[in-house]
Amino acid sequence: MKCWYCNKEAMEDSLVCKDCNDELDRKTQKKFRNLRRLISLLNRPKTVEELAQEMKLVRNTVYKYLVQLEERGIVERKRALLYNWTDLWRVEGAYNGEDEKVKL
């Protein structure tokens, strides 16, 4: 079977070749590295002021990604999500290849 992107021989049980697969993985990782970094900052002890500033950064970043996902038709944006952090993990699942819309 041929790769969808470059017409090289595709990997076994795949629609893309190894090179294209690595490139797609690299782009995906780069795109969401900032979001993961911001979320990891919430795990360390901090003052109330630091926490408020970091949560504002995370909320703004999540909002930008939700808008991008909505444009691609993957997720329906709900303003309430920006204040409900438990739903963030369900949205992140949509980034990992699930093509269905995430119900929020």
Read off the pLDDT of residues 40-67 as tens digits, 9 standing for 90 and up: 766 666 677 776 777 777 777 777 777 7
CA dist 16 → 6, 74, 98, 100 (Å): 8, 22, 17, 21
Encode pLDDT of 65-82 as tens digits. Answer: 777 777 776 555 554 454
pLDDT for 89 equals: 46
Question: Residue range 25-45: average pLDDT?
Answer: 69
Q: Please state, in angstroms and rounded to a whole number, the distance separating the CA atoms of residues 84 and 23.
A: 33
pTM comes to: 0.31
31: pLDDT confidence band, cut at 50, 70 and 90?
Answer: low
Q: Rg for the chain (alpha carbons), in Å?
A: 17
